[in-house]
Amino acid sequence: MTNIENNFLGIKSPNPFWLASAPPTDKKINVTRAFEAGWGGVVWKTLGDQVKNVSSRYAALNHDGQRMVGLNNIELISDRPLEINLKEIKEIIREWPDRAVIASLMANTDRKSWHELIKRVQDTGCHGFELNFGCPHGMTERGMGAVVGQDPEIAKMVVEWVMEVAQIPVITKLTPNVHSVVPTAKAVVEAGTNGLSLINTIQSLMGVDLDTLIPYPNVGGQTAFGGYCGPAVKPIALKMLTTIGQNEMMKNIPVSGIGGISTWKDAVEFMLMGAGNVQVCTAVMKHGFKIINDLCGGLNNWMDEKGFATLEDFRGLSLNKVTHWEALDLNYHIVARIDQDKCIHCGLCYISCEDAAHQSISITKGIPYNKYMIKENECVGCNLCKLVCPVEDCISMIEQRKGDEYLNWHEFVRRGLPLNDH
């Protein structure tokens, strides 16, 4: 029997799926519906000084018939009075004692503002704080959000202020709008943060309406850079999560994974790369709270199939499989193979290989269809044909090593081996 109960920084929840700080966690009615559906926890939409939001706020990237592959927003933190939010957080905690309730916070960059906000929110009985050092729009102009996360020294200073008064676990949410998340992560860990969460949204411009010539989203004829999220950002989030998990100083720091998580498979990938739990937003904004059934069911089934009893049994298992390019085995070689019984003769593999790769596929023209074959002696194993093929498992990649020994780039150079002969 599998057990997907989660313990993150001592904060327990019935599953590892939390709702990220965003519109779905903006008020009690939303959170109640989420918990009724089965979500394990929520990070309440960021609290701070009340703001005024604009209209419209969202724009989406649609691709190849799929809607909302990416989502852009120019929405700010909660625009509801702090007193109402605090009252509703208290009520939710009382009514749902087995769920995790985290308060996302953003204050002016001075000790007094952070101390006051921490103390007021702490009185609600919430289980932890998430410090929003990531919002890339609107709040940055006020010296908050990503401006803090982009400067390790400022981030460290703010976390030190927070830790002076916080009596519950503190999670620091990092911005991806940097060359590397590691410097800021190190700084806030040194300052005493109990955990990290990443990534926040990526600064973006979604596109331009070709009829009006106004970029999206349209606010009275103008727009602003916004935060990008959704399935399209998942690879970036996984990369940044991995850099944290592989860092010697931070390998034991609990991390809540965020960024494009839409399915149970996405969640498993994040946990394999070290995440202690995951946070979801865009998928809920598109499909609603009931996707939690698929998330929990899929995770349970996969764990049962693999023989994992708890989440900790597989967390971080894939971290050591990511290395530097120079350490990869140059003798490892694969070639493509087309299953003629599955081939639908569309020619996409041939076109992509001929125009954009290595001309390693031959074409035999015929009636009623053409036939495509791999030139194995010319195939470099780049995977492009397999990626463009619309038929699952029609093209497979077969290992054909070039040598028995493991040979990386450093050893290749040390031996002075000729490039053209290898």
Is residue 349 annotated as part of the catalytic site, yes or no?
no
Burial, 101: exposed, middle or buried (Cβ in 10 Å; 0-12, 13-18, 19+)?
Answer: buried
Q: Helix/strand/coil (H, E, C) string of 73-125?
A: ECCCCCCCCHHHHHHHHHHHHHHCCCCEEEEEECCCCCHHHHHHHHHHHHCCC
Q: How many CA atoms lie within 13 A of 163 on its CB side?
A: 16
Nearest to 185 by CA among 177, 197, 170: 197
Residue type, 347: G
E strands, 232-333, are 255-258, 277-280
CA dist., res. 278 & res. 299, Å (int) = 12
Q: How many CA atoms lie within 13 A of 71 on its CB side?
A: 21
Q: Which residues of 160-185 are buried (b: 16+ CB within 10 A; e: fewer)?
A: bbbeeebebbbbbbbbbbbeebbebb
Nearest to 72 by CA among 199, 284, 229: 229
Q: Is 236 helix (H, G, I), strand (E, B) or coil?
A: helix
Contact (CB, 8 A) for 261 and 209:
no
Q: Helix/strand/coil (H, E, C) string of 173-200?
A: ECCCCCCCCHHHHHHHHHHCCCEEEECC
Q: Which residues fall within 8 angstroms of residue 124, CB to CB, at 6 or more apart?
A: 86, 89, 90, 93, 103
Burial, 57: exposed, middle or buried (Cβ in 10 Å; 0-12, 13-18, 19+)?
Answer: middle
Contact (CB, 8 A) for 237 and 259:
yes
Largest CA-CA distance found in the chain, in angstroms, rounded: 79
Q: Is 58 helix (H, G, I), strand (E, B) or coil?
A: strand
Which one of 126, 135, 349, 389 is the catalytic residue? 135
CA dist., res. 277 & res. 117, Å (int) = 26
Contact (CB, 8 A) for 278 and 255:
no
- Cα 23 from chain centre: 18
Catalytic machinery residues? 135
